[in-house]
Amino acid sequence: MPTALLSVSDKHGLVAFARGLHARGWTLLSTGGTARTLRDADLSVVEVSDVTGQPEMMQGRVKTLHPAIHAGLLARRGHTGDMAELRGARYEPIDLVAANLYPFRETVARPEVTLAEAADNIDIGGSGMLRSAAKNHGAVWVVVDAEDYDRVLAALDAPPPADELRRELAAKAFAHTAEYDRAIAEYLSRQGEADHGAYRAELALVLDKVQELRYGENPDQRAALYAERDARNPGLTAMRQLHGRELSFNNLLDVDAALLAVSAWNPAEAAACAIIKHTTPCGIGVAADAGEAYRKALAADPSSAFGSVVALNTEVTEVAATLLRPNFVEALVAPGFAEGALDLLREKKNLRLLVLPLASDTGDLDWKRVRGGFLAQERLAMRFPEEEWRVASRREPTPNEWRDLRFAWRAVAMVKSNAILLARDRMVLGIGAGQMSRVDASRLAVLKAADNAHDLVGAALASDAFFPFRDGVDTAGRAGIAAIIQPGGSVRDSEVIAAADEHGIAMVFTGRRLFRH
């Protein structure tokens, strides 16, 4: 009669699986709480302590760490010596292990957890059994996922062998224990971050496939979305699609950029809308309501907004949906949709409607893939403190200019470098993005504003990094720009300030750079 050792923390599906094994003539061997659950279901169970001859010790810390268990799992069934030693020790083979481990991840996710509580939830015996069973998977079934219970029962009813399934389950078991150990190492390492910072000698990145995508950046590239396991914020993997065609690789990149852009504004204070093309904004607007925010964002550059991704930091109202509906938009993402807005937008068959709450500043690392490795950095904090700001020019900004400068500084943080952004009345007027020189970014921003008939006289300009020369300021001055906000820090700051003074421009230094590569 074959023997199954069942010892699980998550008891989902356990009783049905045990009933299936019992009905097929298996002996059920178990420990502690799992044994009680099976007995409560009127199943006959042999206690591990009856097999080992040793009662559980130290409040269950030691129960399966015994040769009767591990010899029964590791004995090679076709090896004469192994089987003779097993019989000589009066041990029996164990033919299946179903185990999942103490809930370490869930325990340490609680803010109030102590180091002692975390240590108590480090599973030793369960990990050991899984590894022994997986090592000998040619003879021993190993199950770590309740979703596999029915597959195993079906395989037991089929003619042997089931080598491919056994191999798959063994790989899953080793992945399970490896990830478990990684979570423990990550937690213990984090306890010392105050001493040595977040950038340890080794970092593990474990990803789970969420879905395959239509294709990558181009149709001949395969692609998929993966979720970072144990991320402090689930990000796009928590997004719900309410309507529209399947999301593509490029859609998801633009959705991520759009959400980053609107998260610069607190929805309790103002509605913000960002229109994204190729991961950089072509329009940003902030207003008292979602409809007006979208109108402002669209007016920045209507032609570039064709085929864009749009994000709002607040619920999509019926008014906003009415304004958006005539335009070709690939995807619209927001924390929610009013019922009337959904009815209107669902008339557009292919428009992807997505719900995702705004991300909080979680402290997760921002990863960039490079050949042979990754770059890691802190995520850009959507906070814009003004403590270090100083007026560098002779002229102070007016109250209206201060309002425009604050808006422009938040908005330019979302634009790819080199970045210049022109704004007035909490609306973008022109953007120069991704240019090789800052003066070209200035010229492009002015050109885009002119193309869309925006009057720049009295407008504000934000630069994501310092002006290395005065030429960018001269370009702004000739266009009528009244105020500039930039980090400062150039060796030619004096020349740049002099140019601002010559044009009568108020210039503010922030002391902080906002590059986005």
Q: What is the mean pLDDT of residues 290-314?
A: 94
Select from 91, 83, 7, 20 the least CA-distant residue to 50. Answer: 91
What is the C-alpha to C-alpha distance for residues 483 and 393, in angstroms, rounded to an integer?
Answer: 10
Q: What pLDDT score was predicted for residue 195? A: 44
* Active-site residue (options: 22, 172, 243, 278): 278
- How far apart CA 143 and CA 171 sit, in angstroms, is 10
By the 10 Å C-beta count (0-12 exposed, 13-18 middle, 19+ buried), 450 is classed as middle
Q: What is the pLDDT of residue 196?
A: 46
**Domain for residue 42, yes or no?**
yes
Q: Are residues 264 and 130 in the same domain?
A: no
Same domain as 129, residue 35:
yes
Percent of the chain at pLDDT > 90 equals 54
Residues 441 and 348 grouped into a single domain: no
Whether the Cβ atoms of residue 272 and residue 285 lie closer than 8 Å to each other = yes
| 261 and 135 in a common domain | no
Residues 56 and 128 in one domain: yes
Dump pLDDT digits (tens) for 131-148.
Answer: 999 999 988 899 999 999
pTM for the whole structure: 0.75
> CA-based Rg of the chain, rounded to a whole angstrom?
31
The percentage of residues in the chain with a pLDDT greater than 70, rounded to a whole number, is 95
Q: What is the pLDDT of residue 90?
A: 83
Q: Are residues 349 and 403 in the same domain?
A: no
Length of the chain: 517
Is pLDDT of 425 > 90?
A: yes
Each residue of 439-463: pLDDT tens digit? 999 999 999 999 999 999 999 999 9
Judge whether residue 361 has pLDDT over 60. no
Is 241 found in the same domain as 138? no
Residue 517 is predicted with a pLDDT of: 81
pLDDT over 90 at 426, yes or no: yes
pLDDT at residue 83 in the model: 83
Residue 99 lies in a domain: yes
Strand partners, 241: 354
Residues 331 and 406 both lie in one domain? no
> 431 forms bridges with which residues in the sheet?
421
β-bridge pairing 352-355 and 329-334: parallel
The enclosing domain of 110 has a CATH number of 3.40.50.1380
Find the CATH number of the domain harbouring 500: 3.40.140.20
Which residue range is the domain that position 245 belongs to? 237-355
Domain presence at residue 104:
yes
Inter-helix orientation angle 67-74/80-88, to 10°: 160
* Residue 242 burial (C-beta neighbours within 10 Å; 0-12, 13-18, 19+): middle
Q: What distance in Å separates the CA atoms of residue 302 and residue 262, rounded to the nearest whole number?
A: 19
Total of domains in the chain: 3
Instruction: Kindly give, in sequence order, each residue whose CB lies less than 8 Å from that of residue 309, ignoring residues fewer than 6 positions away.
Output: 251, 254, 255, 257, 258, 275, 276, 277, 329, 330, 331, 332, 333
241 and 290 share a domain? yes
Last residue of one domain, picked from the residues 167, 194, 221: 194
Longest CA–CA separation in the chain, Å: 98
Q: Quick one: 77 and 136 in the same domain?
A: yes
Question: Among residues 303, 7, 228, 35, which one has the least CA distance to residue 132?
Answer: 7
Q: What is the pLDDT of residues 163-208, one digit of tens each?
A: 889 999 999 999 888 888 888 887 787 776 544 455 667 777 778 8
Kindly state the tokens that stand for 443: 């010229």
- pLDDT score at 232: 67
For residue 199, the model assigns a pLDDT of 67
Q: Are strands 420-424 and 460-463 parallel, antiparallel or unpaired?
A: antiparallel
Q: What share of the chain is helix, strand, coil (3-state, %, to 5)?
A: 40, 20, 40
pLDDT of amino acid 282:
93
Quick one: 246 and 180 in the same domain? Answer: no
Strand 46-47 relative to strand 27-30, pairing: parallel
Assess whether 278 carries a catalytic annotation.
yes
Residue 278, pLDDT > 80, answer yes
Higher pLDDT, 55 or 339: 339
First CA to last CA across the chain, in angstroms? 64
Indicate which residue of 11, 22, 135, 172 is catalytic. Answer: 135
Last residue of a domain, one of 309, 330, 355: 355
Among 139, 167, 194, the domain boundary falls at 194
Residue 155, domain member (yes or no): yes
Kindly report the average pLDDT of the chain as a whole number: 88
Which one-letter amino acid corresponds to residue 267?
P
pLDDT at position 60 is: 65
pLDDT band (50, 70, 90) for residue 231? low
Please tell me whether residues 29 and 174 are part of one structural domain: yes
Report which DSSP code applies to 437.
Answer: S
Burial 160-190 (b: 16+ CB within 10 A, else e): eebeebbeebbebbbebbebbeebbebbebe
Q: What is the pLDDT of residues 499-513, one digit of tens each?
A: 999 999 999 999 988
Q: Comparing C-alpha atoms, which of 176, 156, 174, 175 is closest to residue 165?
A: 156
Q: What is the mean pLDDT of residues 306-333?
A: 94
**pLDDT above 90 (res 337):** yes
